[in-house]
């Protein structure tokens, strides 16, 4: 490859003494005690890692929490190019195709095939990308549900919505009774949130047809979702400020926002951002499009993946499997990191017997969550999710600011995604 030759010439030209370079040969792990590097961001995950280190002193895992989500994907891509990445990383589901197509992730099917049965089918399909290889072990999932301020719902005489029509009505009623409060906000900053809602409606953004990709971000189901929220924003029934800002934090704290369409990991965020409202929130299933067949989507959710450049693949795979299937490890993930495990057994396990600390009154929080999780739609992610997400932020942000309809913005996202795939040489049908 030309690039390789150029790089080698450069290195020779520099004439510097080479320090240890990563000469990976794949295949056999080296003998003797080794260290595995692990890039992750889940809160307190280092405590879980400490447990592994205590029982496996010859294969210590060294953690680094330098970036999260998309930032981490970026770093994995750049470090893979340079051959200086970690052995393991926490990777969100939607980033897997991007990393696999850049040959960053190792196929661990030799070691992981045994644990396929531990995870729901929809989840496992996302780590195999529909093929024979296994590119990551599922860690946690993010089925979406609806959170609301139970005390304020009572104060304003609101009923908990079970369908999206009811949600709209409740939003309007709230506005008429309390003009300075909102039932929720539409965030142009959180494409994952919108993707989850599109999944619930039956949207299917990417699909594979032979060796051609098909992109249908603006399919009928997603348009329905965009049009719905567009209407709510236009009539002022919901707020339009982005989530995860100081502004939004304040709104959660002082009751300007009394509801949040979010996912199962919300208790941790609420506890951190709106600690003063402890015990006043409740959780309910997501409002439905069709009450007779409940579905939900996923927002977030991550996996543990082994890098293809790693020289200790076997040990790394062993750690990844341990982290996500060993009962003790998964229980620790739940209690220390506050994640909702993807492993089926763990979802009904002992660690989830008590409701989360932020929802002390909702005894059946996790059983309800488990029921909701079982209705999660499956989804195929494309090789350029990052591009689609950035296009979403730009297009929807501009539409919100200009006060225009969101459906054309959706078409803009579709167009940008297809253009980018074609420009990279993918065959797009």
Partner 1 sequence: MRRALGALPTLVLLVGAAYCLLPVAWVVVASTKSGGELFSTSTFSPGTAALANLGDLSSYRDGLFWRWMANSALYAGVGALLSAALSGLTGYALAKFAFRGRSLVFNALIAGVLVPSVVLAVPQYLLISEVGLADTHLSVLVPSVLSPYGIYLARIYAAAAVPDDVVEAARTDGAGEGRILWSVAAPMMVPGLVTVFLFQFVAIWNNFLLPFIMLGDDGKFPVTLGLYTMLNQGNTTPALYTLAIVGSLVSVLPLIALFLTLQRYWRVDLLSGAVKA
Partner 2 sequence: MPSTTSRRRRAGAATPYLFVAPAVVLFLLVLALPIAYTVYLSLFRTEVSGLGLGRGSRREVFAGLGNYARTLTDSEMGAGALRVLGYGALLVPTMLLLALVFALLLDEDRVRARGFSRIAIFLPYAVPGVIATLLWGFLYLPSTSPFAQLLDELSLPEVDLLSPTGIYFALANIAVWGGVGYNTIVLHTALRSIPRDLYEAARIDGCSAWQVALRIKVPLVAPALVLTTLFSVVATLQVFAEPTTLAPLTNSLSRTWSPLMKVYQDAFARGDVHSAAAASVVIAAVMFVLSSGLLRITRSRAFGGER
Instruction: Say which entry of partner 1, partner 2, none residue 129 contacts (CB below 5 to 8 A, set by partner kind).
Output: partner 2
Is residue 235 a contact point for partner 1 (CB under 8 A)? no
Instruction: Say which entry of partner 2, partner 1, none residue 117 contacts (CB below 5 to 8 A, set by partner kind).
Output: none
Report d(CA 204, CA 223) in Å as an integer. Answer: 11
Can you read off the two tokens belonging to residue 349?
């396990």
- Residues 287-306 interacting with partner 2 (rule: CB under 8 A): none
Q: Which of 34, 102, 216, 375 binds partner 2 (CB under 8 A)?
A: 102
Under rule CB under 8 A, how many of the chain's residues touch partner 1?
Answer: 54
Is residue 173 a contact point for partner 2 (CB under 8 A)? no
Is residue 77 a contact point for partner 2 (CB under 8 A)? yes
Report d(CA 331, CA 346) in Å as an integer. Answer: 7
Report d(CA 20, CA 15) in Å as an integer. Answer: 15
Can you read off the two tokens belonging to residue 228?
């719905």
Is residue 192 a contact point for partner 1 (CB under 8 A)? yes
Q: How far is the CB of 423 from partner 2 (least distance, A)?
A: 8
Alpha helices in 42-104 (DSSP H): 45-55, 69-82, 96-101
Q: Which of 143, 203, 259, 268 binds partner 1 (CB under 8 A)?
A: 268
- Residues 249-288 interacting with partner 2 (rule: CB under 8 A): 250-251, 256
- The closest alpha carbon to 267, from 360, 344, 150, 372, belongs to 360
Alpha helices in 164-243 (DSSP H): 164-177, 191-201, 220-234
Show the site string, 368-407: x = touches partner 1 by CB under 8 A, - = not.
----------------------------------------
Can you read off the two tokens belonging to residue 376?
């999660």
Is residue 188 a contact point for partner 2 (CB under 8 A)? yes
Q: Which residues contact 241 (CB under 8 A, 6 or more apart)?
A: 185, 187, 247, 248, 251
Considering only CA atoms, give the Rg of the chain.
Answer: 23
Sign of CA dihedral 15, 21, 26, 32: positive
Q: How far is the CB of 48 from partner 2 (least distance, A)?
A: 29
Is residue 1 a contact point for partner 1 (CB under 8 A)? no
Is residue 215 a contact point for partner 2 (CB under 8 A)? no
Q: How far is the CB of 397 from partner 2 (least distance, A)?
A: 4
Can you read off the two tokens belonging to residue 339?
């994640």
Tokens 């409606």 -> residue: 201
E strand or H helix at 390: helix 385-402
Q: Which of 206, 228, 299, 396 binds partner 1 (CB under 8 A)?
A: 299
Under rule CB under 8 A, how many of the chain's residues touch partner 2?
Answer: 53
- The closest alpha carbon to 68, from 39, 38, 25, 26, belongs to 39
Q: Which of 300, 355, 356, 382 binds partner 1 (CB under 8 A)?
A: 300
Q: How far is the CB of 275 from partner 1 (least distance, A)?
A: 6
Sign of CA dihedral 161, 361, 325, 268: positive
Report d(CA 187, CA 355) in Å as an integer. Answer: 28
Q: Which residues contact 272 (CB under 8 A, 6 or more apart)?
A: none
**From 71-79, 113-121, 146-154, 269-277, span contacting partner 2 (CB under 8 A):** 71-79
User: What one-character-per-residue DSSP string does 402-417 give?
Assistant: HT--HHHHHHHHHHHH
- Residues 24-43 interacting with partner 1 (rule: CB under 8 A): 37, 39, 41-43
**From 68-76, 320-328, 341-349, 357-365, span contacting partner 1 (CB under 8 A):** 68-76
Chain residues in the site for partner 1 (CB under 8 A): 7, 10-11, 14, 16, 18-22, 37, 39, 41-43, 46, 64-69, 71, 75, 78-79, 81-86, 142, 190, 192, 244, 246, 249-250, 253-254, 263, 265, 268-269, 271-276, 299-300, 339
Chain residues in the site for partner 2 (CB under 8 A): 1-3, 6, 10, 14, 70, 74, 77-78, 81, 97-98, 100-103, 129, 131, 188-189, 208, 211-213, 240-242, 244-247, 250-251, 256, 383-384, 386-387, 390, 393-394, 397-398, 400-402, 420, 423-427
């Amino acid at each position: 490859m030309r690039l390789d030759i150029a790089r080698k010439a450069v290195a020779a030209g520099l004439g510097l003494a080479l320090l240890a370079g990563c000469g990976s040969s794949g295949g056999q792990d080296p003998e003797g005690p080794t260290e595995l590097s692990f890039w992750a961001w889940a809160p307190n995950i280092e405590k879980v890692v400490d447990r592994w280190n205590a029982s496996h002193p010859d294969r210590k895992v060294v953690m680094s929490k330098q970036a999260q989500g998309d930032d981490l994907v970026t770093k994995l891509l750049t470090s893979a190019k340079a051959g200086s990445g970690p052995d393991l990383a926490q990777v969100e589901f939607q980033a897997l195709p991007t990393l696999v197509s850049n040959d960053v992730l190792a196929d661990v099917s030799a070691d992981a095939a045994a644990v396929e049965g531990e995870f729901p089918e929809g989840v496992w399909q996302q780590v195999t990308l529909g093929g024979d290889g296994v590119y990551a072990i599922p860690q946690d999932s993010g089925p979406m549900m609806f959170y609301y301020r139970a005390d304020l719902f009572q104060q304003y005489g609101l009923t908990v919505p079970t369908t999206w029509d009811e949600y709209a009505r409740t939003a309007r009623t709230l506005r008429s009774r309390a003009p300075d409060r909102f039932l929720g906000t539409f965030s142009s900053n959180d494409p994952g949130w919108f993707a989850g809602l599109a999944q619930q409606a039956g949207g299917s953004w990417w699909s594979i047809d032979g060796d051609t990709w098909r992109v249908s971000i603006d399919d009928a189901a997603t348009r329905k979702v965009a049009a719905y929220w567009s209407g709510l924003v236009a009539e002022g029934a919901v707020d339009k400020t982005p989530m995860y800002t100081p502004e939004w934090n304040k709104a959660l704290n002082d009751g300007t926002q009394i509801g949040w369409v979010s996912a199962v990991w919300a208790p941790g965020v609420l506890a951190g951002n709106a600690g003063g409202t402890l015990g006043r929130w409740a959780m309910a299933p997501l409002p439905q499009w069709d009450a007779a067949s409940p579905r939900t989507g996923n927002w977030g959710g991550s996996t543990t993946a082994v890098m293809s450049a790693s020289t200790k693949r076997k040990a790394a795979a062993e750690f990844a499997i341990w982290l996500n299937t060993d009962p003790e490890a998964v229980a620790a993930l739940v209690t220390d990191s506050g994640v909702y495990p993807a492993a089926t057994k763990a979802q009904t396990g002992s660690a989830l017997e008590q409701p989360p600390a932020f929802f002390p009154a909702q005894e059946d929080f996790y059983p309800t969550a488990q029921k909701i999780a079982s209705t999660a739609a499956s989804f195929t992610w494309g090789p350029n999710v990052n591009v689609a997400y950035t296009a979403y932020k730009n297009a929807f942000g501009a539409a919100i600011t200009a006060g225009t309809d969101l459906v054309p913005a959706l078409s803009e996202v579709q167009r940008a995604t297809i253009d980018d795939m074609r420009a990279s040489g993918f065959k797009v049908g």
